Amino acid sequence: MPNRLAESTSPYLQQHAHQEVDWYPWGAEAFEAARERDLPLLVSTGYAACHWCHVMAHESFDDHETAVYMNEHFVSVKVDREENPDVDSVLMNATQALTGQGGWPMTVFLTPDGEPFFAGTYFPPQPANGQPSFRQVLEALAGAWDERRDEVLGSASSIASQLRELNPVASSTTVPGARETLELLGKDYDMIHGGFGTAPKFPPAMVLDALLVKGDPTSLDMAQLTCEMMARGGLFDRVGGGFHRYAVDPGWVVPHFEKMLYDNALLLGTYLRCWRRTADHDGYKREVYENVIYSTVEWLEREMRTEPVEGLGGGAFAASLDADSVDIRGMVAEGIYYLWNPDLLVDALGEADGGWARQVFHVHEGGTFEMGLSTLQLHGSPDQARLTAVLDKLRAERANRFPPSRDDKVVAAWNGLVIESLVNAAMTFGEAGWLELARDAAQAVWDVHIDQAADRFVRTSRDGVAGTTAAVAEDHGALALGLARLAGATGDATWLERAVWLLERADRLFTAEDGGFFDAEASDELFTRPRDLTDNSTPSGTSSMVAALRLAGLLACREDLLARADRAAETTWPLVASQPRFAGWSLADALVLDEARRGLSPAQAVIVLPDSAPEAEIDRLATAAWRMAPAGTGIVVGRGGTEGFGHLFDDRTARDGQSTAHVCRGEVCFEPTTDYADLKTPLWSRC
């Protein structure tokens, strides 16, 4: 018989809907039950693509005796961290404070008032490697609750009090120095393989974005090497496109195989910026980056777009692909869908191409993974035509395998990131179809997630059905950024109006006393209000809001939005100065401000199209602007007389029937140009 999770729109929660555990979703009902029954809460947090979440679910939550014990001694709550990032953030802080480490699955025990007193990550079904079994943990905590209640409550109160004081936010009026922050980044930089730190290594998209804003030879070399090494390693799925979550080794060879939408949205933007910053004469690097861009967009369209829903359309993007899939024996194994050995290559390609592929992809008998299987790396500079033909054959062969499952919930923030990257990619490469992908996703999210009349915005949906979790700051910021970018590319001010509505709503709901932003609204169930300025897996709510406020402010000619961005940005500067590796987007913003102090303030570039311009094509001058513009530029493309973008189209025309670029930086406007070869001068002129 299904439990309370059966009605959830979260695929992760639905995976637990038929367990005997009497799961509650996160919310007031669970806390009321805990108070009525005088029991602690067991809060288990994970996500659909998490390998070890599946392992613990099978070992413990599917076990009859464990479920019975949990139901008797605890009120059990299951949380999808992607649906409730505010809950995940607060409980992860508690877990790290109590254990010195974090990760998923995450198991936190709370008093009925929501204060934590014990936490951990994965617990095995039997004691192993000095770690107690999950059942032993349950019995010990149930005993402590029954026999030492006052001690438990006192400890929980003390822990909660300390966590409330954790990481106080301090503003600064001094923009972090570029040289000092880049020197700090250099200390963690891997000069051999690119990236930062040691294994496990995560793709540092947002830090690379900052390095590409700076663009000096050292920063550019760090970004280019990292992008090239990630693209050559097993982290990148060269058969199907898209990046896996992270690598378990320094050289990006063996990944943890889940694929997350947010990683690929961010990396698509990063590779695009790296392609733009790489000189034309460095053709091979540009080809590597361009291949990543095209194959990632193809993967997004082929595997991640959600199906149309009657009356609502379709086109939003799903959250993730699982790390696990089923092999030919019917056994579940991590990464098996993506792995090859020499015999499998020969079977798929024949002797000649199979032997060639072994060398190019570094596939050998010992394997780079388990059971003699290997990821496909890219060695050398193989013939591009032959490589493409081989990959096409491998893609067709792989289609016969059992694919990993997809978490098809739609997350507003992550779709906002995809929309922004797709728009930038479309305009840079003149790919009108990519712009339509972005527009479809924007419309799908707006139609399902948002009801302006009711002042409602939810974070997630599935199959066209809106979830119940309220959108958080990052949803407002990331989606507003994507919509504003779409407005600039299409000249459709409706998207800009919607972006501004989101930003003004966020300002009302999340503003802190110091001018920054909380991550979410205050909650009766959480013992503290989350506020995390770090850019980790995704941009923080604050950095997302700052980016969106700046772009919308430029496109709408709204000085109040630009001033609001300035106030919020100041709250990030101490973190940027001390830990730039974990403040990538905030660092990028600070570097743009650093350039502004030297005369290169963010410009407004208006591309006025003639009435004869084809509707279905992307204008060449617009493409040139997107390729050449410095970071922070607000670009808008539209016909003369376009409305809804402040004064940007006032008295501006297409000269001599040709597309014409009008560029202004602050109070200085440059001579309009119709020649893309002359466009770089106004875009990069300091004043």
- Give me the CATH number covering residue 541: 1.50.10.10
User: What's the 3-state SS for 349-393?
Assistant: HHHHHHHHHHHHCCCCCCCCCCCCCECCCCCCCCCHHHHHHHHHH
Quick one: pLDDT at residue 313? Answer: 63
Q: Identify the pLDDT of residue 685.
A: 94
Nearest to 43 by CA among 95, 82, 78, 89: 78
Q: Which two tokens stand for residue 7?
A: 């009605």
Are 360 and 249 found together in one domain?
no
Is residue 245 one of the residues assigned to a domain? Answer: yes
Q: Is the residue at 170 inside a domain?
A: no
Question: Is residue 172 a part of any domain in this protein?
Answer: no
Query: For 423-447, what is each residue's pLDDT tens digit?
Result: 999 999 999 999 999 999 999 999 9
Q: What is the mean pLDDT of residues 97-113?
A: 94
Domain termination residue (choose one: 403, 429, 446): 403
> Cα 234–240–241 angle (5° rounding)?
70
Helix-, strand-, coil-residue percentages of the chain, each rounded to 5:
50, 15, 40
Mean pLDDT of 564-571: 97
Cα(598)–Cα(120) distance, rounded to whole angstroms? 49
Is residue 558's pLDDT more than 90?
A: yes
Which domain does 480 fall in, by range? 178-320+407-596
Are residues 381 and 424 both part of a single domain?
no
Question: How many domains does the chain contain in total?
Answer: 4
Whether 13 and 122 share a structural domain: yes
Give the other-Cβ count within 10 Å of 154's Cβ: 12
DSSP code per residue over 502-570: HHHHHHHHHB-TTS-B-SS---SSSSS-------SSS--HHHHHHHHHHHHHHHHT-HHHHHHHHHHHH
Instruction: Clarify whether residues 197 and 287 are in a common domain.
Output: yes
Q: Could you tell me if residue 300 is inside a domain? A: yes
In the beta sheet, which residues pair with residue 606? 636, 662
- pLDDT mean over 33-62: 95
404 pLDDT above the threshold of 90: yes
Q: State the burial class of residue 651 (Cβ atoms within 10 Å of its Cβ: 0-12, 13-18, 19+).
A: exposed
Is the residue at 173 inside a domain?
no
**Banded pLDDT at 150 (limits 50, 70, 90):** very high
588 class by beta-carbon count within 10 Å (0-12 exposed, 13-18 middle, 19+ buried): buried
Same domain, 316 and 364: no
Report the chain's mean pLDDT, rounded to a whole number.
95
Q: Could you tell me if 552 and 564 lie in one domain?
A: yes
Q: How much of the chain exceeds pLDDT 90, in percent?
A: 89
103: left (phi over 0), alpha (psi -120 to 50) or beta: left
Confidence bin at 165 (pLDDT 50/70/90): confident
pLDDT tens per residue, range 233-285: 999 999 999 999 999 999 999 999 999 999 999 999 999 999 999 998 888 89
Cα 293 from Cα 53, distance rounded (Å): 31
Is 171 domain-assigned?
A: no
Q: What is the pLDDT of residue 518?
A: 97
Q: Token pair of 240, please?
A: 């199907």
Residue that terminates a domain, selected from 352, 376, 403: 403
pLDDT at residue number 163: 82
Note whether 151 and 195 are same-domain residues: no
pLDDT at residue 172, rounded to an integer: 65
Q: Which residue has 């464990």 as its token pair?
A: 66
Interval 592-645: pLDDT, tens: 999 999 999 999 999 999 999 998 899 999 999 999 999 999 999 999 999 999
Which of 596, 623, 651 lies at the terminal end of a domain, its last residue? 596
Edge-first strand order for the sheet with 465-466 is 410-411, 460-462, 465-466
- The answer on 192 and 146 residing in a single domain is no
pTM: 0.95
Phi and psi (nearest 5°) for 81?
Answer: -60, -25
Residues 311, 429, single domain; the answer is: yes
350, part of any domain: yes
Name the pLDDT band for 167 (thresholds 50, 70, 90): low
531 shares a domain with 424: yes
Residue 130: per-residue pLDDT: 85
DSSP E strands in 61-202: the ranges are: 75-80, 106-110, 116-120
Same structural domain, 381 and 467: no
Residues 413 and 436 in one domain: yes
Per-residue confidence (pLDDT) for residue 170, from 0 to 100: 62
Helix (H, G, I), strand (E, B) or coil at 116: strand
**Is residue 169 in a domain?**
no
